[in-house]
Structure 1
Amino acid sequence: MEELEWVIPFVPSEDVFLLGIVPGIEWVLAAVLAVYAAHSLYGGLIPQSQLFGPIFRGRSGAGRVVALTFDDGPHPTATRQVMDILEAREARGTFFVIGRHAKAYPDIVREIVRRGHEVGNHTQSHSWLMALALSRKTRDEIENCQETILRIAGLRPRLYRQPIGFKNPFLFRQLKRSGLTAIGWQARGFDSHAGDSGPVVRRILRKVRQGRIIALHDGCDMEMGRDRTATIEALSAVLDGLAREGYRFTTVSRLLGESPYQSGLQDGTVQSHPAHPAHPGRSAFAVQSDSPNQPAA
């Protein structure tokens, strides 16, 4: 039986001719693509990178003051322990909550606000793939968390922290639509899965700088009830160590100089919440310590 051979005609394009005519152009194109890929990876995977958009990590000239932040909560026990430690030192913190955890422990979210701390958006599910998420997934993660917090606490956050600090080009467009400001950090304890508080304390005290933001974890992205003993022990030591060095403690919104919450308008746009709910009558637009016995920075 006669064997048939299928032949698919190939018509070379001008680009293919160009590759053959211009010596070495394929290497030039490969180099350009490699640089582009490296640039994109840097922008997406390096938390400090602002390639895709601005990230607030602190304020120069604020003096010996630091903002305290806590991610991945609320936690059934650790979040309250963190607040107790802060309040014993007349300090307040900013808690970036995961929406699904907030739904599990709504009373703790309301307690965070009632006790004078701030609540920020840390996405609905804390997906490690957010750096690869397309615009719809990015929107859903952010807006679902916004709506969760709004239903629980009656507040729509202005402050947002990306899971693990990973980013993509879609993120900052959505943050603008949602009226959110991206918040980073300058010193973090890598305490999410730490079993010993010692390295956490040393890492933060070594890296912290004036007017910057410290990142710790009152919760855990994977396990809502995970043991947080190392973080609790580290927090006390960090606060005491910084206090001995003359540091004062504040929230992200005070360091940023903007309200931590938004007010909705009828046309769907957002504006700053007129007052800091934690401190009625006090300005939310100046860097200041939360201790009434210490002067503003």
Structure 2
Amino acid sequence: MFLCLSRLSLRLGRVSRCHGDRRLIATVVSGTKTARDVKQRLVLQVEQMQTHFSGFRPGLVVLQVGDRDDSNLYISSKLKAAAEIGINAKHIRLPSTTCQDEVLRNILALNEDPEVHGLIVQLPLDSDKPMDQDLITNAVSPLKDVDGLSCVNAGRLSRGELRDCFLPCTPQGCMELIRQTGVSVAGKQAVVIGRSKIVGAPMHDLLLWNHATVTVCHSRTKDLPDQVSRAHILVVGMGRAELIQGDWIKEGAVVIDCGINYVTDESRPSGRKVVGDVHYASANQRAGFLTPVPGGVGPMTVAMLMQNTVISAQRFLQNQTRT
């Protein structure tokens, strides 16, 4: 049965409790804890590289155009995580007046820099000039595309070549959280809500190549509650606050909420609070496993970026030892 998985619940630090003959309290799947475990593992890997290769450190560059406050916050969390792990991270901020050709020149120079193993372009681009976001994203070398957003890496993922590409950070983090539940993906009915290039589309591919039967829903999907009710595994990345209601969810399902939405809350000093795309209180009474917002997928996205950077550095060293 998919319900009341006591041993798995104990392993995750909480016991699921049945209410009456059907209802239960979901086990919270903490992204904060899982991300901390990932980073501790990465610290050891970086220390091993430093020991065997004369102080070598993985290098990560975050290239930003403009000065958006939200982007600055995200970049700060990435730089902090890199410092904790031992990754040499650098932030390059170009003014919003920078033209597209100058952005591309910076990317090409960083592609050629042997001390840079991971390169990400912080999105969205905050530019006063016309910018082709896809062109800029694809200018990043696939060998350094630790965000996994280039057409080359996306194409390899879509074909199931998981070992030959960088996996996008948020979907990869979602898969790690699903693994933490102990629930096998193979053979399960999975539903992904949202089809963005960053979350929904690659999430579909990851679940498919881990042998789930996957349905993707979006803004034009008819009878969304019926689609959701079939999911043993539900991943939501629609960007709509508390869209998914608890009574839509299959009892005992694994629910991964990628949403980050700000809603009014006059009880808080800021006047607002963060909620996910899933109505947490009602979902908590139906799901078997549920990620919180905040503290769920968000920390895993940063952890997977660090993991991809370390993997890229390891590949670089392997290539160096062969030549």
Q: Give TM-score, length-normalised by structure 1.
A: 0.25
- Higher Cα radius of gyration: 1
Q: Which has the higher contact order (CA 8 A, sep 6+)?
A: 1
